[in-house]
Chain A
Amino acid sequence: MKATKTLLAAAAGLAMLGAGAAHAATEITFWHAMGGGLGETVNAIAKDFNASQSEYKLTPVYKGGYEETMTAGIAAFRANEAPNIIQIFDAGAATIINAKGAVYPVASLLNENGVPFHAEDYIAGVRYFYADSKGDMIGMPFNSSTPVLYYNKDALAKAGVEPPKTWEEFETIAPKLKAAGYIALSQSHTPWIFSENFHSRHNLQMANENNGFDGVATEIKYNNEHMRMHFSKAREWQQAGYFGYYGTKWGDNQKPFIDQEVAMWLGSSGSFGGLKSAAKFDFGTTNLPYWNSITKGEDYTTFIGGAALFAFSGKDKAENEGVAQFFKFLTKPETQFFWHKETGYVPITNAAYTLAKETGYYKDEPDAEVGIQQLNLKSAEWNKGYRLGYYVQIREVMNREYDQIFAGTKSVEDAFAAIEDGSNKLLARFAKTVQ
């Protein structure tokens, strides 16, 4: 498997050299944040695209992590050297979408370059996150994932319990898991899983201005009774030995699950592939739990995480046509299915999901379907997504305060007051920059 990937990458490299020699092709640059195995899959897709036609030559460039890629893109834009396509993550979406004139909205780009755009082709869960309030896509969803629950089957069997659907159920099984020698739960991204998706899963408003879709949001709603209740509970669980909090780093919270200290772990649906090779035990996947007491029995969908592709404006017509062709290639069912299988990210179009079902992929790998099933759950008023300025720093504020809640140095009430205050200051500042 590893060798195949290396070969693929090498082949991609050679293909690029070859394409460089056969001149006249329009060059398209694509900056992304997909390292390691994901990067190899991106290269394989680029290679296939280049091989599928001769008019355009797409060059993918790995620019580091999500933040680094965004910073590099901003710097390049300011120096008039922007790439054609850039991958921007969920938390940075407001930054690029609010930069008026910096991006060529995907829906218009496709429509104006001979590739008709239909919003209904995309699965409901990913359709709106990077779209404007009318539903026209500004960014093309690329690597989309959603938080799900992974559980150690042996551990749950040992404790004689079933994976929890709700947090109420979690409270009843956690003592049994503890008695069986496990910490019941850990999670890898408190702002994403316990905050943003907490609001989607319970259909709660996150910010004013329709979560930031109708205008520049200036008011965050995190300091609400449900969030305070959830974090008070989580702190109680932690003290009782049911919940392990291992700081803010993703891997540090996943490690105890892999080491079988922790029985259940909340991670990304995209973690599936990596977990498969790292975990030496049989694990299952299920939906993110919710509080029945809040939703009154409703099972709402979650937000997508991950990132989208944005096309910079001010490029030649020919290059934009190339970008449109690449997006067309990327959203083809076959490409999406390949991407879904290789990486664990969800397929973004209905056609690709149907193809995956038809091939029987989910019969062999039922866990791979959980993320997309969860994204297709009931959608209501507050499940479209959110668009908040300086959100990278707002997450930083949240991490800072959550650390203090779980270190026991700050009360839940004080921490949420600080999150509200810090976030609103950042939102106000962002609102001033874009006016």
Chain B
Amino acid sequence: MKRQQFDHISLPYLLIAPQLAIIMIFFVWPAAQAIYQSFMLEDPFGLASQFVGFDNFREVVSSDHYATSAVFTLVFSALVAFLSMAIALLLAVKADGIIHGQSAYKIMLTWVYAVAPAVAGMIGTFLFDRSIGSLNHLLNATGWPFNPQLDVFDASFTVILVSVWKQVSVNFIYFLAGLQSIPRAVREAALIDCRNGFRRFWTVTLPLLAPTGFFVLVINITYAFFDTFGVIDTMTRGAPGGGTATLVYKVYQDGFLGADLGGSSAQSVILMILVLALTVVQFRVLEKRIHY
């Protein structure tokens, strides 16, 4: 059999060049810069620079606050990813089951998608404001001495709530699309075989939804790690007591506010390795169990 091939060897390269250029300029080049900077100690103005080996990494890893921030990031990301996926799945299943007025529900549930994280954070700031925040008053009225300005748990609660709220709509769209692509014949067959709706969901719907679920998980982990920056910056700025500073937020605080290039580069390299490792694990372990 004859292999399909372009006549000109350069044409395919030309076609992928724009994409490659974007990756080179916006990912490979800055990542390489970060790796280079993470081994250097440099004054903010770039007047003197020296190679310090792994010193930056050693200082970062030995800092108590970094450890606290790492633990918070993992708990925060796990909760944000899990809650926003679970709530979105529940809503998608329910919306999928509705026959009349489905589009109204769909629109209502998806339009939060248009809200940027920083805007979501501002809405959260108002809702939880000490003097004018309605949610703040509501929570205090339940007897919970809710005080996100001082209590790390309460502050974490507010940023997780807003981050989840912001992400549910995105997940909802994917889950709903996933549910609607399950063949009708399969669903009807299942309906005849099993009358228990809950069981039908676990044994038939969920496995068929798994490819969508896996994709959503990957984007949610990335969202929780990186895109929640806007929510944290507008709501807590890492306070109280540095208890809500995620690793990305710390990179920003040390690098952009504090002008410590070497230290924040080392942090971003660690973060890059961490997220890369997480993604590899996801693909290696989870994807094997998914049937497309």
Contacts and interface: CB of A to CB of B under 8 A. Distances in A.
Interface stretch (B202-210, B252-260, B270-278): B252-260
Contacts of A397: 65
Interface stretch (A36-44, A70-78, A191-199, A270-278): A70-78
A78 B49 CA distance: 13
Contacts of B262: 433
A99 B44 contact: yes
Contacts of B239: 247-249, 399-400, 403
A178 to B, nearest CB: 19
A231 interface: no
B97 interface: no
A433 B258 contact: no
Residue from B50, B254, B257 having most chain A Cβ neighbours under 10 A: B257
A373 interface: no
A392 interface: yes
A96 B46 CA distance: 11
A153 interface: no
B192 interface: no
Nearest to B43: A433
B6 interface: no
A410 B152 CA distance: 13
Contacts of B46: 77-78
B43 A392 contact: no
A433 B130 contact: no
Contacts of B65: 397, 400, 422
A425 B59 CA distance: 9
B151 A407 contact: yes
A228 B242 CA distance: 21
B186 interface: no
Contacts of A393: 253-254, 257-258, 260
A71 B149 CA distance: 28
B45 interface: yes
Contact of A434 (B48, B131, B263): B48
12 contacts: A248-B240, A252-B130, A255-B131, A390-B260, A392-B259, A393-B254, A393-B258, A396-B257, A400-B241, A403-B239, A429-B59, A432-B41
B241 A409 contact: yes
Contacts, number: 107
Contact of B45 (A74, A247, A256, A425): A74
Contacts of A214: none
Interface of B: 41-48, 50, 59, 63-65, 130-131, 149-152, 237, 239-243, 253-254, 256-260, 262-263
Nearest to B242: A400
A71 B47 CA distance: 15
Given A248-B240, A400-B242, A429-B263, A99 B257 contact: no
B267 to A, nearest CB: 13
Contacts of A433: 41-44, 48, 262
B-side binding surface: helix, strand, loop or mixed? loop
B260 A429 contact: yes
A207 B244 CA distance: 30
A38 B223 CA distance: 37
A71 B45 contact: no
A338 interface: no
A48 interface: no
Contacts of A74: 44-45, 259
Contacts of A403: 150, 239-243
Contacts of A68: 256
Contact of A407 (B43, B240, B260): B240
| CB-CB nearest 5 A-B residue pairs | A247-B149, A403-B241, A99-B45, A400-B242, A393-B258
Contacts of A256: 130-131
Interface in A217-275: 245-249, 252, 255-256, 259
Contacts of B41: 429, 432-433
A403 B237 CA distance: 13
B45 A407 contact: no
Nearest to B263: A429
Contact of A259 (B131, B151, B237, B241): B131
A433 B49 CA distance: 7
A71 B241 contact: no
Given A256-B130, A259-B131, 5 more contacts: A95-B45, A99-B43, A248-B240, A406-B150, A432-B50
A255 B44 contact: no
Contacts of A77: 45-46
A74 B243 CA distance: 29
Contacts of A99: 43-45, 47
B54 to A, nearest CB: 15
B240 A246 contact: no
A321 interface: no
Contacts of B242: 396, 400, 403
Contacts of A252: 130, 149
Contacts of B237: 248-249
A407 B152 contact: yes
B159 to A, nearest CB: 14
A404 interface: yes
A199 B207 CA distance: 65
A100 interface: yes
Nearest to B155: A247
